[in-house]
Amino acid sequence: MDTLFNSPTSMAKRPCPFSSSSTTTPSSSIPSRQPNMNHQVDNLLQTFLGLTDSPSLSIDLSFERLLDSFPSDADQSLLIDRALKLGSILLEAGKRSARKRSSRHNSLTWALPPDLTIKVFSLLDMQSLSYAAATCSMFHKCAMDPLCYTNIDLTTVVPKVNNAVVSTMIQRAGKALQSLKLGIVPGPTVSPGSCQPLVYTIRNSVDVSNFSWNDKKTRQGKESSILTRSCLNPLSGDGGAAGTLLRSLHLYNIERMDNTSLCVALSACPSLLDLEIVGLHVELRQTLVSVSTNCPLVERLFFESSKTGRDESLKSTTCVDLVNNCPNLISLALRGFKLHDCKVRILVKGFRKLKYLDFSTSYSITGNFLRNLGGSTGGNLLEVLILRDCMHLKEVEVARLLTEVLAGDFKSLRYLDVSNREGLASEGDWYHRCYSSRY
């Protein structure tokens, strides 16, 4: 038994060229030997790396012969572990050196410093920014900066953006997010006040060649390319960090959006100045209540109905609350809703800073709300007034308006649009007119 404990190993250990001798080396001689040792390691590593030019089979056979020279299973396992560890160390060293060389190369070929690069990237659209991020490690690092996502525009002509893309972009922006645009915008995009509606329908789109609305259903194992009601959830996530400083929110034709989801999103955006809603299946009254409650700083409100003429939910109390809670409103557009003159007058007279007004394709408006408006406190700052295709707009009311304009009541008015496909309503026919949206 003693013989087993005291017998030498079955294989004599090979001397290590870098091991210290049995004689203790004075500590004073270590610094003088260190450069020589580093030189030896450098030469050995250079020789070792030169083996990469040798056939892989030759290296494999050489390693097998070395492995066979160790009859002990434990020694062979140790040798394999050391080979794997050395390979891993060399791999990481190679990657690290490659990154350093790439950084030096990029700094020479790309003259802009990181801060200016981020500024340039912040001016790109989201698709171009993604392409830039995939170019090199330096661009990727710059493209991940929150400032690049200050203004996120993910609007498309056909459905191809899903909730995951929106969430990723908003998370990258964080508190830097100031502007967010989502949904489907019919091309070409038109400015508010034009005769072409912004509401999207599959029938009038020319860019949906192979798209079917059946594809909107999320299939198992397949990512949907359609935005759903939860697409705005990231705004209220993480304590509402992303929505805190959001200034502009534009939502276009997101068919699956509902009032509850929109109201939750607006509750996370107390700093909102610009809100544009087009083609969403949300109620006018509930939306205005949410704006009144959560967005006291709003200056521009553009709301176009997805179901022209069928939403008559607006109440007088809602109008009063909106006027009282959002006193900074400068631009107001409510297009395609069934509005009555008494409620419209509350809005127009109540907003003391109102300069832009658009009630295009609004049912029930006769123009009565315009009487004695130009000389009053509210309405005297109007610069743009658009009442396009209001089927019940009376000819007599328009004539009275023009008389007041000539008299100097609307001193700031610069643009007036009362055009109508059916012609202005006269006393004898305006109750029997029928609006057509075929043209």
Q: In sequence order, what DSSP letters do the residues of 7-44 get, joined into one string? A: SPPSSPPPPPTTSPPSSPPPGGGHHHHHHHHHHHHHHH
Residue 218 structure tokens: 């999320």
If pLDDT is split at 50, 70 and 90, which confidence band does 301 have? very high
pLDDT in tens, 237-264: 777 788 999 999 999 998 888 999 999 9
Choose from 20-34, 36-50, 199-213, 357-371 the range with maximum mean pLDDT: 357-371
pLDDT of residue 429 exceeding 50, the answer is: yes
Q: Which of 1-15, 150-164, 216-230, 362-376 has the lowest mean pLDDT?
A: 1-15
pLDDT in tens, 49-91: 777 777 877 888 888 888 888 888 988 899 899 889 988 988 8
Does residue 420 sit in helix, strand or coil?
A: coil
Q: In sequence order, what DSSP letters do the residues of 324-343 get, joined into one string? A: HH-TT--EEEEES-B--HHH
The conformation of residue 363, written as its DSSP 8-state character, comes to B
The conformation of residue 218, written as its DSSP 8-state character, comes to P
Strand partners, 417: 386
* Amino acid 275: pLDDT: 97
Which distant-in-sequence residues (6+ apart) come within 8 Å of 352 by Cβ?
327, 377, 378, 381
- The reported pTM is 0.69
Q: What is the distance between the alpha carbons of residues 212 and 196, in angstroms, rounded to a whole number?
A: 24
Higher pLDDT, 88 or 379: 88
Average pLDDT, the chain: 80
If pLDDT is split at 50, 70 and 90, which confidence band does 225 have? low
* Amino acid 432: pLDDT: 54
